[in-house]
Homo-oligomer: A and B are copies of this chain.
Amino acid sequence: MQLAIAKAEEGQTPFGAVIVRQGEVLAAVFNTVKPSNDPTAHAEVNAIREACKRISRTKVEGAQLFTTCEPCPMCAAAASFAGLQDIYYGATIPTISQYLPQIHLRAGEVLKQADTAVSVRQMEKYADACEELLRQFS
């Protein structure tokens, strides 16, 4: 999660994401919606794209995603399609909503409807540091 926070700061956005599998970092990226004119280029989607490209597969099964902010429905669904095993996030969607427009649907609500199970949980230890990113860059 510390690397995800560092990537968010590097990109001057509140959003950083890292994918790790068996101790190997497969992607460490930030949100690039504005510079790439791509509204789908959230940190988590960028991380999934990069990790899959790196291993030349359509899924990155058994991997962990660390993200500064709880995944929106787009990113939560993408995590399911990518076959991720676990998602760990810092700031919750209700917290993010204080700074930015949101879709008010929690990642767990989306993922519990998926045929492919993905576990998702907050790392409370990093909640304040991730909210500080929102305060700084929103």
Inter-chain CA distance A102–B112, complex, in Å, is: 11
Copies of the protein in its oligomer: 2
User: Given the complex, which residues of B lie within 8 Å of A101, measured CB to CB?
Assistant: 115-116
User: Given the complex, which residues of B lie within 8 Å of A104, measured CB to CB?
Assistant: 113-115
| Contact residues of A between 17 and 61, Cβ < 8 Å to B | 33-34, 37-40, 45, 48-49, 52-53, 56-59
Q: Is the CB of B74 within 8 A of A52?
A: no
- Interface status of A68 (Cβ within 8 A of chain B): no
Of A8-16, A75-83, A126-134, the stretch lying at the interface with chain B is: A75-83
Inter-chain CA distance A37–B60, complex, in Å, is: 10
CB of A32 to closest CB in B, whole Å: 10
CB of A131 to closest CB in B, whole Å: 19
Partner of A34, one of B58, B72, B115: B58
Q: Can you name the residue of chain B whose Cβ is closest to the Cβ of A77?
A: B74
- Interface status of A73 (Cβ within 8 A of chain B): yes
Q: Is the CB of B48 within 8 A of A39?
A: yes
Tell me whether A53 and B38 are in contact in the complex, defined as CB-CB below 8 angstroms, given that A101-B115, A103-B80, A105-B113 are known contacts.
yes
CB of A7 to closest CB in B, whole Å: 19
User: Given the complex, which residues of B lie within 8 Å of A75, measured CB to CB?
Assistant: 74
Q: Apart from A40-B48, A73-B73, what 7 extra A-B contacts exist at CB < 8 Å? A: A37-B56, A37-B57, A38-B58, A39-B58, A39-B78, A73-B74, A102-B115
